[in-house]
Amino acid sequence: MSAAARARALAGVGRLEQAETAVREGLAETPADAELLGLLAGLRRLRGHYADALEIADAAVSVAPGQPVVHIERAECLLLLARPEDAEAAAREAVRLAPDRPEPHRTLARCLVLRREFGAARTAAGRAVAIAPHSVPDLMTLAEVERNAGDRDAARRAAARALAEDPEDAEGRWMMALLDAERLRVREAMHGLRQLAADHPDRYGAPALAWPVRGLLAGLRRGTPAGLAVVAVLALADRWWEPASLLARGAAAVMALVTVGLALRVLLPAGRLPWLCVGLLPARTRRAIGAGLLAASGTVHLLLWYAVSPHPLTLLLAAVAMAVLVAAGAVERT
């Protein structure tokens, strides 16, 4: 068995370190082997060594610039290093070299999504699916493009096609749960996630099952600053227009009640499981989530207090609580 075949077999069962050793042994005999260099770049990427993987992918391109697979690997590395423009250029070179293969179009679609060029991304993903209509990775790429573009119905159709080809595909099941979550179909999403976590505990464990709590906080971090800004503007407008004070109090009450309603809509159907999973997260993440929950609760209480008894200091304290909520989210994501 060749070094490349042995490495692929090892990687296929998750033994990435041993696969890398096999590739390096092969490269010791043939250091300019583009296939082995491409495999090594892919293995280093999968193990999280992105800069090292890019350097090896560059070497593979220099050895075999006419092979589309090495350009695809280089594009994947560049994507992970947050260089979408360079990644797109590498993906387009792969498309030029192999326009009749789905992989270059699939990679190009992912590059275009990061650049928020959703129309072009949809076209590239569609070409990949047209070339390989039964390919689960290509169908899932199309689903991801549609989801990022905001067309959840199209994303669900593409994911359903992928699951029809492979009902156990983890990415397809994750996509379905994610789409249910985004539509606040909490029970359906949690049911799908529980089954997914049972089958793939290493990939879809506590962080995925804690999404109702974390997702709620993420939504509040996006909506609270805008709502609070509206209340503040109306409160300031009271100096020139007397009814603005009443409107500010009403806006504060509506904002607080909507926040409470959203929390109940998400957390009650989810049950205890998300809270149990939060307790399994790293300590830094748990502390950030706890701070975010306290800050969100404080913001709601202060807005309700302002609605009952308006005072500039109350709004200032609400703004401080909101800042803590946003800061806790930044810590949670690191």
Q: How confident is the model at residue 41 (pLDDT cuts 50, 70, 90)?
A: confident
Closest CA to 208 of 225, 232, 192: 192
Q: What are the Cα distances from residue 161, in Å, to 132, 176, 218, 285? A: 12, 11, 30, 36
Whether 1 shows a pLDDT value over 70: the answer reads no
pTM, 2 dp = 0.80
| pLDDT digits 0-9 by tens, 134-146 | 999 999 999 999 9
Rounded Cα distance, 219 and 257, in Å: 15
Rounded Cα gap, residues 161 and 172, in angstroms: 9
pLDDT (average), residues 272-301: 92
Distance CA 48, CA 147 (A): 26
pLDDT of residue 334: 67
Cα separations in angstroms, 79 against 72, 114, 264? 11, 8, 38
Q: pLDDT tens digits for 102-123?
A: 999 999 999 999 989 999 999 9
The percentage of the chain sitting over the pLDDT mark of 90, rounded to a whole number, equals 55
CA distance linking residue 295 with residue 308, whole number of Å: 20
Q: Within 13 Å and on the Cβ side, how many CA atoms surround 290?
A: 9
